[in-house]
């Protein structure tokens, strides 16, 4: 198949491109910067890859069977009012662009599937509730961003199969929250961040990439699908395992302020969590490579 991907140059996108390319699918990277994307995906390593800046997105999407939409300004940063606005606007802008380009195509050349990212932030935060795909949305800022992001994707032509993946905290070595947390753990010896009681709905990078890949190719994957591992953990447990894997004791708590210095208000992604279960993925028969956070962390740190 031929797949166009926004946000392909990011943490999840890079791994998805590698996976699709390794399986001989054609990949179109939809980016804001061709020169950046060409460095990430050198032709020697990725022969045949198409790198498109606007206005070439239109032709790329026209020639694709599927589109994956991952673009957006990073959330784990310091949230000034301007950045907060851009966190929402960048997602709405790119999603809206992709949806318009798909909708404007004649039926005969329209991609058949759109896999669009959203986040478990949709549900808001809670130490006691358990959320699945049927749960209502929360009341905070990230919940509002996710609602509007999803609503924009839902405007895609009804003949296009839409899979909205509500992604949890993706664990991988070279990016995401873990890459920012590990140095803090090394400095502070590494206990829980905040109270440690907050829930942490994580997913290994390999599994989120497999889930997106499956959503592209399997017609049963449609609607909202939580992209989280089957066993979310309290943050204290996650930190204990991380401490063990890194060979650091985990009895000294990493202070909230340290995390906020690194992540700003974006620290709320790990300081206030939610317990989200992948009910739909399990119903669909999706096989998780990593169900235990301990195994996931061990595999990542030993890479
Ligand atoms: P990254 O931050 O690594 O990459 C996102 C990509 O978005 C970038 O490579 C960039 O592509 C594009 N981008 C960045 N800023 C802007 C902007 N202002 N306007 C338009 N495009 C922009 O994201 P991840 O790979 O970590 O995540 C992919 C998606 O999944 C994101 O939307 C994220 O919110 C969501 N998600 C991720 C989670 C995680 O733990 N990683 C958890 C929950 C949701 P380019 O420069 O090529 O245009």
Ligand 1 closest atom vs CA 29: 47
DSSP-assigned letter for residue 254? B
Confidence bin at 262 (pLDDT 50/70/90):
low
74 CA distance to ligand 1 middle (Å):
6
Closest by CA to 113, choosing from 47, 69, 54, is 69
10 CA distance to ligand 1 middle (Å):
6
Which helix (H) or strand (E) covers residue 136, if one does?
A: none
242 CA distance to ligand 1 middle (Å):
25
Could you read off the pLDDT of 194-234 as tens digits, one per residue? 677 889 999 999 999 999 999 999 999 999 999 999 999 99
Confidence bin at 246 (pLDDT 50/70/90):
confident
Pick the CATH number of 2-301 from 3.10.20.740, 3.40.430.10, 1.20.140.10, 3.40.50.720: 3.40.50.720
Ligand 1 closest atom vs CA 74: 2
All residues at 6 or more sequence positions from 129 whose CB lies less than 8 Å from its CB, including other chains = 123, 135, 274, 275
Biggest CA pair distance of the chain: 61
Question: Which of these ranges, 8-12, 32-36, 138-142, 176-180, has the smallest mean pLDDT?
Answer: 176-180
Could you read off the pLDDT of 69-117 as tens digits, one per residue? 999 999 877 778 899 999 999 999 999 999 999 999 999 999 999 999 9
Q: Is 191 a residue whose pLDDT tops 80?
A: no
12 CA distance to ligand 1 middle (Å):
8
Q: Is 30 a residue whose pLDDT tops 80?
A: yes
63 CA distance to ligand 1 middle (Å):
23
Pairing of strands 2-6, 26-31: parallel
Q: What's the confidence (pLDDT) of residue 248?
A: 74
Q: Rounded CA gap, 68 and 295, in Å? A: 28
Ligand 1 closest atom vs CA 73: 15
Please work out, in degrees rounded to the nearest 5, the angle formed at the alpha carbon of residue 39 by the alpha carbons of 36 and 45.
140
Q: Is 189 a residue whose pLDDT tops 60?
A: no
Q: What is the ipTM of this complex?
A: 0.99
Q: Which residues line ligand 1 (CB under 6 A)?
A: 7, 9-13, 31-33, 36-37, 70-75, 86, 90, 94, 117, 119, 167, 169-170, 175-177
Structure tokens that stand for 33 in this block: 């910067």
Closest by CA to 60, choosing from 47, 51, 69, is 51
Q: Is 15 a residue whose pLDDT tops 90?
A: yes
Please work out, in degrees rounded to the nearest 5, the angle formed at the alpha carbon of residue 135 by the alpha carbons of 274 and 97.
90
Q: What's the confidence (pLDDT) of residue 270?
A: 72
Domain ranges, ordered by start, for the chain: 2-301
Q: Mean of the pLDDT values across residues 175-180?
A: 86
Confidence bin at 60 (pLDDT 50/70/90):
very high
């Amino acid at each position: 198949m031929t797949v166009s991907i926004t946000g392909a140059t990011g943490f999840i996108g890079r791994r998805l491109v590698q996976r699709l390319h390794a399986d001989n699918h054609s990949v179109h990277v939809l980016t804001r910067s061709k020169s950046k994307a060409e460095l990430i995906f050198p032709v020697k390593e990725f022969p045949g890859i198409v790198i498109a800046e606007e206005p070439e997105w239109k032709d790329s999407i026209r020639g694709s069977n599927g589109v994956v939409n991952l673009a957006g300004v990073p959330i784990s940063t310091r949230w000034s009012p301007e950045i907060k606005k851009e966190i929402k606007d960048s997602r709405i802008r790119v999603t809206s662009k992709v949806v318009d380009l798909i909708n404007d195509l004649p039926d005969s050349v329209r991609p058949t599937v759109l896999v669009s990212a959203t986040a478990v932030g949709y549900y808001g935060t809670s130490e006691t509730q358990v959320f699945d795909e049927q749960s209502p949305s929360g009341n905070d800022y990230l919940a509002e961003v996710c609602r509007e992001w999803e609503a924009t994707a839902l405007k895609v032509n009804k003949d296009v199969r839409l899979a909205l993946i509500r992604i949890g905290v993706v664990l991988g070595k070279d990016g995401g929250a873990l890459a920012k947390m590990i140095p803090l753990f090394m400095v502070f010896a590494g206990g829980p961040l905040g109270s440690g009681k907050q829930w942490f709905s994580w997913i290994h990078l390999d599994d989120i990439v497999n889930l997106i890949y499956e959503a592209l190719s399997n017609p049963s994957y449609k609607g909202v699908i939580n992209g989280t591992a089957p066993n979310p953990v309290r943050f204290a447990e996650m930190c204990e395992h991380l401490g063990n894997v890194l060979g650091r004791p985990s009895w000294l708590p990493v202070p909230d302020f340290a995390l906020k210095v690194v992540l700003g208000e974006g620290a709320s992604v790990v300081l206030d969590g939610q317990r989200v279960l992948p009910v739909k993925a399990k119903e669909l028969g999706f096989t998780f490579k990593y169900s235990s956070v301990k195994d996931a962390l061990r595999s990542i740190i030993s890479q």
